[in-house]
Amino acid sequence: MRIRGYRRPDGKFGIRNHVLILPCSVCAAETARLAAEGQKGVIYLPNQGGCSLSRKDLEVTLETLSGIAANPNIYGTVLLGNGCEVVQARLLAERIREKTNKPLFSFVIRQEGGSLKTAERVRAEAARLRREADQVPVETAGCEELVVGTECGGSDPTSGLAANPVVGSCADLLIAQGATVILSETPEMIGAEKILAARCASEEIKTRLLTMIREYEEDFIRVSENPRSGNPTPGNLEGGITTLEEKSLGCIHKAGSTPVNGVAGYGEALPARGLVVMDTPGQDIASMMGMAAAGAQLILFTTGHGTPTGSAVAPVIKITANPETARLMAEHTDFDCSSVLTGGEEIGRAGRRLLEQIEKTACGELTRAEKLGFGEVSLARYCNFA
Amino acid sequence: MSADKEKMTVPGMRKKRTAGVLLHPADQVLTLTEAVHKGDTVFYPAAEGEEEVAAREDIPKYHKIARRPIACGQDVFKYGEVIGRAVKPVYPGEWVHVHNLKSVSATEREKDEDKRV
C-alpha cells in the first residue's frame, strides 16, 4: 500500500496538511476561534483545559498539546495564551520544540493588548503559514510511515461480533506492511488483561501493561466504581455477552493478532512500532486525542449505534456492522461491513476492503466527518479539584 | 409474516436456515445473527466451506450456539480465546450462556492478588 501526503522537516509524513491555531487554555480559546474563523485549511483546537491543573494533569496536558502540534498532519502551529494560565505559552513552545522543528509561533493576549489585536496577529501568521503549507509538494510514501489509532464508541452486539474483528484483521494487514497500530481505552481491557499480557513481546512490556490496567482499575475503585461487578451489564447479557472476558475480547479484537510491542502513557510518544497499547480513557474523543498526540495520522472508529464523531487532527474512518445504522447514519458511515452479518462476507475479506478504504483516506479522500467539518476535541484529565 | 411462519416448528414444515458467525476456527461456539427456534438449521462459512448445526432449543439473536461438544470444566473459545469455562456438558446445537458458561477472570484474579506482595 502506498500513501500520499507531505514530508515534514522532522522526517515524519502527514496525510493532511493543516495549519494549527492552538490556544494554551480555555481562556485563549475564543481568541483562537476569532483568529481561525473563515480561514480554509486552518484548524483550531477548542481547548477546554490548560489551567487549574494538578502537577500530573499539567504534565499530561503539555504532553498532549505538544504532541498534537507535532502530529505529522500539521504543517505548523500558532500558539496563543492569555498569559496567566498554568500551561504557559513559553512552556508549551519549549515542549513542542523538543518534539519537532516544524514552524511555530507564539503570542500572549495581554502582551498584545487584548484579544482583537492578538487574533489579528495570529490570523496573519496562520495565513502566512497556510501559503507556505500550500507549497509543500505532495509525495508518496510506504505504509510504514502510517500510525493508525483504533477506537470504539456507541457499541452494540454488532461491534464485538463483526466491526471490531474486521478492524483487527485489517490491523494485522497494516502491521504486516510495516504500519504502527494503537489499541486504546484501558477500561475496555479489564477482564482481557491476561489475553493481552500473553501477547506481549517481552516480560517488561507485560509488566507495564498489567500495571497500567491495574492502576486504572484502582482509580475506578477509588471513586466507588467496580468495573468487574457490574460487567457484563444487564444490557450486555441480554445482547448475548456472557462473561467479562468475552466483552473485553470484543473490544481488544480491534488490535488484531500480532504481539504487543510496547505500552505508552496517554498522549506519549510511541515506544515501538507494530502494535502498541496506549493508556486512554473510555471517552472516545479524549482517547482519540491521546492517539493523535502520539502521532496517529488516521483513526479507525467502530460503532454499532453510529456517531457523528470526527477529530480536528486525524481523519476518522467510521465503521459499522449494523445494517440499520449504516442506513440511518449513512452520512456518518465511511465503511459498512454489515455484510459480515447479513451477506456472509468473510471477516478477512471485509478487512481487506477496509485496507482499501484506508489507502483512499490516506491518499487524501475526505472522511464523512471531515466533509462535515467536525473536529471534536477533549483532553483526558485525572483531577478536577486543583 | 411469512418469516414468522417459517420459524414455527410444525412437524413436516421446512425448517428455517439462519446464518451464524464463526469468529475463529478454534471456537466451539457461533454467534447468531438472528433468533433461532428449536430445529432450525444454522449455517456458517468455515475454512473448508459451509458447515451447519441444528439448534436444539430456541436461542435469541446475537447469542451463542455450540457447534462442537464441550465437556464440563473445559475452556470455551470465542475469537480463538478463552471466554470462560463450561460448568455443564454442552452438546452441539445448545444455547451457550450464563447457565452453562462461567467467567474465569474473577477467580484467576483473586489468585493473582494472593501472589502479589
- In this predicted complex, what is the ipTM? 0.82
Residue A283's pLDDT is what?
Answer: 86
| Chain A neighbors of B101, CB-CB under 8 A | 242-243
**Which value, in Å, is the radius of gyration of the alpha carbons in chain B?**
17
CB A154 within 8 A of CB A118: no
pLDDT digits (tens, 9 = 90+) for B67-100: 999 999 999 999 999 999 999 999 999 999 999 9
> B27 or B110: which carries more pLDDT confidence?
B27
Per CB-CB distance under 8 Å, the chain B contacts of A253 are 79
Label residue B111 by pLDDT band (50, 70, 90). Answer: low
Amino acid at A15: I
The pLDDT mean for chain A works out to: 93
Q: Which pairs from A381-385 meet CB under 8 Å and 24+ separation?
A: A381/A49, A381/A53, A381/A57, A381/A60, A382/A54, A382/A56, A382/A57, A382/A60, A382/A219, A383/A53, A383/A54, A383/A56, A383/A57, A385/A54
The alpha-carbon gap from A42 to the nearest alpha carbon of chain B, in Å, equals: 43
| Over residues A350-370, mean pLDDT | 97
Q: Is A104 on the interface with B (CB under 8 A)?
A: no
Q: Which of A191, A237, A342 sits opposite B33 (nearest CB)?
A: A342
Q: Residue A321's closest CA among A338, A306, A307, A309?
A: A338
- A189 vs B contacts (CB less than 8 Å): none
Q: Are B81 and A243 in contact (CB under 8 A)?
A: no
Residues of A in contact with B80 (CB under 8 A): 257
Residue of chain A nearest B46, judged by CA positions: A346
Indicate yes or no: CB of A161 within 8 angstroms of CB of B21: yes
| Confidence (pLDDT) at A375 | 83
Whether the predicted pLDDT of A302 surpasses 80 = yes
Is B107 an interface residue toward A (CB < 8 Å)?
no
* Res B9 pLDDT > 50: no
pLDDT > 80? residue B14: no
Residue of B103, B108, B115 best to disrupt the A interface, most CBs of A under 10 A? B103
Residue A103 half-sphere exposure toward CB, CA atoms < 13 A: 20
Question: How does residue B5 score in pLDDT terms, banded at 50, 70 and 90?
Answer: very low
The edge-to-edge listing of strands for the beta sheet with B49-54 is B49-54, B41-46, B17-21, B29-32, B64-66, B95-96
Whether B1 has a pLDDT exceeding 70, the answer reads no
Is there a contact between A359 and A146 (Cβ–Cβ < 8 Å)?
no
- Contact B104/A341, CB-based, under 8 Å? no
Q: What is the pLDDT of residue A6?
A: 98
Q: What's the average model confidence in pLDDT over A220-245?
A: 83
CA distance B11 to chain A (A): 28
Tell me whether residues B33 and A344 touch, CB distance under 8 A.
Answer: no
A332-336, A355-359, B18-22: the lowest-pLDDT one = B18-22
Tell me how close the Cα of A356 comes to any Cα of chain B, in angstroms. Answer: 22
B36-44, long-range: CB within 8 Å, 24+ apart, which pairs?
Answer: B36/B65, B37/B7, B37/B8, B37/B9, B38/B9, B39/B9, B39/B15, B40/B7, B40/B9, B40/B15, B40/B16, B41/B15, B41/B16, B41/B17, B42/B17, B42/B18, B43/B17, B43/B18, B43/B19, B44/B19, B44/B20
Q: What is the pLDDT of residue B12?
A: 44
Q: What is the pLDDT of residues A135-178, one digit of tens each?
A: 999 999 999 999 999 999 888 889 999 999 999 999 999 999 99
Are A216 and A229 in contact, with CB atoms under 8 Å apart? no
Contact A243 B45 (CB under 8 A): no
CA distances from B23 to A99, A324, A341, A379, B97 (A): 41, 22, 11, 35, 17
Q: Which residue has the higher pLDDT, A347 or B11?
A: A347
β partners of residue A76: A19
- What are the start-end ranges of the E strands in chain A? 2-7, 13-14, 18-23, 42-44, 74-81, 104-108, 139-142, 147-152, 180-183, 260-264, 275-278, 298-302, 316-320, 335-336
Facing residue for A242 by CB, picked from B23, B61, B84: B84
A330 at B interface, C-beta within 8 A:
no
Residue B11 scores a pLDDT above 70:
no
Confirm if A122 and A35 have CB atoms less than 8 A apart.
yes
Residues A10-64: tens digit of each pLDDT? 999 999 999 999 999 999 999 999 999 999 999 999 888 888 888 889 999 999 9
pLDDT at B32: 93
Selected residue of A209, A215, A220, A245 to mutate for chain B interface (largest B Cβ count, 10 A) = A245
The pLDDT score that the predictor gives to residue A150 is: 97
Distance from CA of A179 to the nearest CA of B (A): 23
Residue with cell 454499532: A304
| Residue A49 pLDDT | 87
